[in-house]
Chains A and B, each alone.
Chain A
Amino acid sequence: MVMVRANIRIVSALIISLSSLVVDAAELHVSWVMKDLPLNELTISQEFIESLVQSEIITSTPWTQEIDSFIGPTLATLSELFLPKFGRISGATVSALNGYSMFVPAEDWEALNVIVASRINGAQFKIYDKGPFWVIYPLDEMSRPADQIVLSRMVWHVSHVEFHVE
């Protein structure tokens, strides 16, 4: 059942990726929507991202060999690039270059300071190294074990972050 659903997702992702413009690997698309109504959108560069307040998470992950240092702005910082007049941000849909996307609830980055990492151990991410951006949770510090949901929210190849306002 999982496999069938996965197939459908893969096909749709393919179509999207094939028809989409190639995004500059070092750019991040950030948007704010309220119930599908777009409020604002930004395309920000790596430099801009690095100019924001940076947070560091030192953790191991299931996909890396050692304990690495991840540096990037928190999702909270990103969300604050635009402050809607009313309502609050309930979460963000993080999409990847290969069409994978996942909803990250605001409680996660409010409680855990989830970051959108742009550097690993000081060096910029290569795309083949899960770059250009990777949503990082502080797995080592988390009291609850890294379950499937958390791991699925650690999206790499991040290309688009869409904040949902309610």
Chain B
Amino acid sequence: MYLMLNFMWSKYELKWRIYVTLVLSVLTAGLFVSTAVLFVQNNAQRNALQGSIRSAGWVAYQAKLESIKFAMSVEKCAVAQVLCNRGELGLNAAILASRIAVLSDSEEGSQIANIQEFKYDLRTFFAYFSALSDDLLSQSSENISVDTQLQIMRSQSDSVDKLLSEILKSAVLVNKDITIREQLINNKSVELAFLMLSASSIGLVLFMAFEMKRRRRLLSEVFEMRRIAVEHGQELMDLLDAIPVAITLASDNLTTYSNVAFKDLLSNFGCSNEFLLSEIGAALAVDARSTSLSLVVEGVARNISFMSNNVNWLGQSTAIFAIEDRTHAMDYERQSLISARLMLLGELASSIAHELNQPLAVIAAAAENAIGSVASGKLDNEYIKKKLQNIIRQVERADKVTQTILDMARQDRVQTEPFSVIKSLHVSIGFVSHQLRLANVDVEVVIKCQTDCIVVGGPSVVEVALLNILLNARDAFDGMEVQYQKKLRVDLQCTEEVVYIIITDNAGGIKKEILDKVFLPFVTSKESSGGTGLGLAIARRGIRSMGGDINVQNTADGAQFILSLPLKRVFS
């Protein structure tokens, strides 16, 4: 769940990352550009406002004022000599000249719309009035009479006054700078910049709001998924508790979780989980593939089968153990095997009885004959000796039978002795030969081995296996007509490493439905006659424990069992 979420998020994020970056870049660029434009406009306006405020009109006005003052000084001199102040006249002329200079040659003056037209005249007047002021203000001019100059002064004063009036008019009316200012103020690009600024700002705000909403939604989805994951986790725990198999989780040798079944098992056993896990750990240390173990808890033997694995649980590497108490099952198995063996023995009861009875009959008869001979008075030592030897032979024969029975009963113990397969074959055949003869089965034994065919294991295992196969063959012939030529062939062949015992009959073969199941427990075709279906299962199990195997196939007219065992290498 976590990995899926991560993957989805990163895919999602990649597309959105590109989209978000694009949109943000556009909006931010818009903001910057509009701000820059506004700044530039603002600056230009400020400069414009600053510059022009110096207003050319005022300069013209001041010049006009000085011209009036000069005119008045001239009139004063014209009215009365005594009132005529040469210095004052000269000063006024100088100040007027300087005002004219400002008008014609200064920044302020140049603001006036059509000042260029007046520049020549202004400069002419500046020259006259500056010269006049020099004259009037210098000492040497004391002797000069202003009377003669008054007329000129008056006319110049009039002329300059007229000129200044004109300039004043145009300055007031048309101010180049004001025009520029107005243009700047009316500049539509400012509006455009404002529009862009507003659009960018609103866009950014909307985008942010949208993004926030989206992220909030994603976040709530994440929370929801997390909640579901937790819920699932809880459901998983409930599931584990419901499973009837004992399950426990351990991380760093500490138990992190045990289900109900496990706790029941522990209380059943009467041991702690540390003990159980340490036993399992010890078994795994010896053989990493082991899946079962026996232990003794408070004097009681217990059998468990277990499986273990490593998982990632809540982000930690955890070992998971599934444990099954097989004590009863194993007891049942063992008892089944025991009862199967007992039943096998039961099946053989008639054979056993017969096998024992034969030697007994001979012993009894021979003994009676010997007694009879003695009783008749004609003591024939040789005859008696012959009888007694016969008796001993029969006793040995009976002993072998009992030994075989005992061996079969003792199969619980695993035997690992080397023995000759050929000998076991003879024993088995000997055991059933009578029965097979009774059933009119021709038995043919062909041994194609030069050696004794020594294998390692339990002779009784091989004998019982062969016995089972042979008895099955005998049973298979049941119900067949007397005239039918019943044949049973036993071949013994060996390679360098393996010995094969092949038992072939012509009893019709094994039914197709059960052919691949004959070795499974409780599979039998002899249900009506009380077959347990365990015989072949036990036989195969025994042979397999010796490293060999039993296989079966159908021939044209019967069945063929192939028993194989690994040969023990005999150093010659």
Do A and B pair up? The answer is: yes
Q: Which of A25, A65, A130, A145 contacts B98 (CB 8 A)?
A: A130
Chain A positions within 8 Å of B61 at CB level: 3, 6
Which residues, 79 to 97 on B, are CB-close (under 8 Å) to A?
85, 87-88, 90-91, 93-97
The stretch from B100-108, B350-358, B560-568 touching chain A is B100-108
Inter-chain residue pair count (beta carbon < 8 A): 71
B133 on the A face (CB < 8 A): yes
Which residues, 341 to 362 on B, are CB-close (under 8 Å) to A?
none
Q: Mark A91-125, 1 if CB is under 8 A from B, else 0.
A: 00000011000000000000000000000000000
Q: Which of A10, A145, A157 contacts B65 (CB 8 A)?
A: A10
Closest A residue, CB atoms, query B87:
A22
Closest A residue, CB atoms, query B97:
A128
Whether the pair A129, B88 counts as a contact (CB closer than 8 A) is: no
In the bound complex, how far is the Cα of B43 from the Cα of A145, in angstroms?
Answer: 12
Whether the pair A127, B133 counts as a contact (CB closer than 8 A) is: yes
A32 on the B face (CB < 8 A): no
Whether the pair B105, A128 counts as a contact (CB closer than 8 A) is: no
Count of A residues near B, CB < 8 Å? 26
**Known A-B contacts A10-B65, A17-B69, A145-B50; A127 and B106 likewise in contact (beta carbons under 8 Å):** no
Chain B positions within 8 Å of A156 at CB level: 98
B163 on the A face (CB < 8 A): no
B129 on the A face (CB < 8 A): yes
A141: min CB distance to chain B, Å: 18
Q: How large is the interface on B (under 10, 10 to 19, 20 to 34, 35 or more residues)?
A: 20 to 34
**Known A-B contacts A22-B87, A25-B137, A64-B106; A147 and B50 likewise in contact (beta carbons under 8 Å):** yes
Chain A positions within 8 Å of B130 at CB level: 126, 128-129
Which residues, 108 to 166 on A, are CB-close (under 8 Å) to B?
126-131, 145, 147-148, 151, 156-157
A63 on the B face (CB < 8 A): yes
In the bound complex, how far is the Cα of B72 from the Cα of A10, in angstroms?
Answer: 14
Chain B positions within 8 Å of A126 at CB level: 94, 130, 133-134
Whether the pair A25, B65 counts as a contact (CB closer than 8 A) is: no
A62 on the B face (CB < 8 A): yes
In the bound complex, how far is the Cα of B54 from the Cα of A97, in angstroms?
Answer: 22
Whether the pair B50, A62 counts as a contact (CB closer than 8 A) is: no
**Known A-B contacts A22-B85, A22-B88, A98-B69; A148 and B53 likewise in contact (beta carbons under 8 Å):** yes
Whether the pair B106, A128 counts as a contact (CB closer than 8 A) is: no
Chain B positions within 8 Å of A130 at CB level: 98
Task: Enumerate the 10 nearest inter-chain pairs by beta-carbon distance, A residue then B residue, closest first.
Answer: A127-B94, A128-B97, A22-B87, A62-B107, A128-B94, A63-B106, A128-B130, A128-B98, A98-B95, A22-B88
11 extra A-B contacts, CB within 8 A, seeds A6-B61, A62-B106, A64-B106: A3-B61, A22-B87, A25-B91, A62-B108, A63-B108, A98-B69, A127-B133, A127-B137, A128-B96, A128-B130, A129-B101
